[in-house]
């Protein structure tokens, strides 16, 4: 086993990927608890898919840095979705679906001009081993921001989830909170897309928190278990994918799925 570790850590890019995992996964576990409680799983999924449109916008404007256009677009998209969620009485699900599909369609149309979509298909799956030290620094900053946000805002975010009017009476600014939260999720999701991939990024956000929700009975347990599952899946996924030579994202998500169903069955057994 220790030989495997030595082998595993022989290359710098693996070390970077490992540190990245240790920053990314707790962040996802943490924010996942709120996304799940706020019933925004679909919302964050739509944000992930908007990344393609973000890149398309970058291509149209001939910007060199696709990450910036991706994040910028996702932030605008998140705020727009929030706005519509407030305005419309129709089901949020439907609205998100409509907006996400249209946005994705526009993105795909632009990117597939002249049959060039294959240039971007690597984004669908992502590659965690392509991470650089500079990426790591940005990730570390994002990690710190997320932790600070969580510590300061978890109470108001939770209160708003429990009862928006009651939260308003208490003096929490509901709209601000919802917007900051959406922006942070948008940045987090799009920033990690190049490493985890568009198709599975949302799973990383939702699955650990959903698994933890199966067995937690209060918010402390919810948070601790979500972070624990998330870090463990990230580590196991990276480790295993290295040796069996498959993309890391899918392996992480498979592990997370195993945890989800295991906790689901466990909670069922306990209730019996």
- Taking CB under 8 A as the criterion, the residue among 80, 129, 158, 232 binding another protein is 158
Give CA–CA dist 241/69, Å, rounded.
30
CA distances to 44, 204, 225 from 265, rounded to whole Å, are 26, 20, 16
Residues 63-102 interacting with another protein (rule: CB under 8 A)? none
Our finding on whether 182 is near another protein (CB under 8 A) is no
Of 60, 90, 141, 166, the one binding another protein (CB under 8 A) is 166
Task: Give least dist CB 174 to another protein, A.
Answer: 10
Residue with tokens 């900053």: 141
CA gap 160, 177 in Å, rounded: 9
144 lies in the site for another protein, by CB under 8 A:
no
The maximal CA–CA distance of the chain, rounded, in angstroms, is 60
Q: Which 188-217 residues touch another protein, going by CB under 8 A? A: 212-214, 216-217
Q: Where are the beta strands (DSSP E) in the chain?
A: none
Judged by CB, which is closer to another protein: 17, or 167? Answer: 167
10-39: which residues touch another protein (CB under 8 A)?
Answer: 37
Residue 93 beta carbon to another protein: minimum distance, rounded to whole angstroms = 15
CA 41 – CA 48 distance, rounded (Å)? 11
Closer CB to another protein, residue 158 or residue 258? 158
């Amino acid at each position: 086993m220790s030989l495997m570790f030595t082998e595993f850590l022989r290359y710098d890019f693996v070390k970077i990927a490992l540190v990245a995992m240790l920053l990314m996964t707790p962040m996802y576990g943490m924010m996942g608890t709120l996304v799940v409680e706020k019933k925004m799983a679909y919302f964050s999924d739509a944000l992930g898919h908007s990344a393609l449109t973000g890149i398309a916008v970058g291509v149209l404007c001939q910007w060199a840095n696709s990450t910036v256009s991706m994040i910028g677009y996702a932030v605008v998209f998140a705020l727009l979705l929030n706005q519509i969620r407030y305005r419309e009485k129709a089901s949020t699900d439907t609205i998100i679906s409509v907006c996400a599909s249209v946005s994705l369609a526009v993105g795909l149309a632009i990117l597939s001009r002249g049959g060039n979509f294959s240039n971007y298909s690597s984004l669908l799956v992502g590659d965690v081993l392509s991470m650089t030290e500079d990426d790591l620094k940005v990730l570390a900053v994002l990690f710190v921001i997320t932790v600070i946000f969580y510590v300061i805002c978890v109470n108001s975010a939770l209160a708003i989830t429990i009862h928006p009017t009651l939260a308003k009476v208490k003096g929490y600014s509901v709209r601000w909170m919802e917007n900051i939260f959406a922006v942070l999720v948008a940045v987090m999701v799009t920033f990690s897309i190049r490493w985890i991939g568009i198709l599975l990024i949302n799973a990383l956000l939702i699955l650990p928190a959903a698994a933890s929700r199966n067995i937690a009975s209060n918010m402390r347990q919810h948070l601790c278990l979500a972070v624990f599952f998330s870090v463990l899946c990230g580590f196991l996924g990276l480790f295993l994918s290295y040796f069996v030579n498959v993309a890391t994202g899918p392996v992480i998500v498979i592990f997370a799925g195993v945890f989800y169903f295991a906790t689901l069955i466990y909670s069922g057994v306990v209730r019996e």
